[in-house]
Amino acid sequence: MEEGTGGFRRRGAASDKDWTKGSILGNLWGLSWPMMVTQSITTLGPTIDMIWVGKLGAASMAGVGVSGMVVMLVSSVRTGLQTGTRAILARSIGAGEKEVANHVAKQP
């Protein structure tokens, strides 16, 4: 392990892993589980809201339903931007251009 900044020790960088080697299913799981957890939590939120607000009446449920659609719309836009960023990163890393990949990854 290397000594990182601020006295923290860091393990091997995940960016150094070659995702084209090893088990396909293992690599797929390693890349996809964070997205699956995030999407599950995002979907679960409005569902729980509907259960709780369902006791208050139809107007309250309608409000939660509309806000849930707005959340899903924003989530779809975010997912599209993340997918585009991943594509640029993958192309940069595949071409061996680590400087470009680092630049893309640092964007807000």
Give 1's pLDDT tier (boundaries 50, 70, 90).
Answer: very low
Whether 31 is covered by a domain: the verdict is yes
Indicate the number of domains in the chain.
1
Is 1 inside a domain boundary? Answer: no
At 49-99, the pLDDT tens digits run: 888 888 898 898 888 888 888 888 998 899 899 889 989 998 998 899 989
Q: Is residue 87 part of a domain?
A: yes
- Residue 93 covered by a domain: yes
Find the domain containing 95 and state its range: 21-105
Give the predicted TM-score (pTM) of the model: 0.54
Residue 65 domain-assigned? yes
Residue 16 domain flag: no
In a domain, 9, yes or no: no
Q: Within 13 Å, how many C-alpha atoms sit on residue 6's CB side?
A: 2
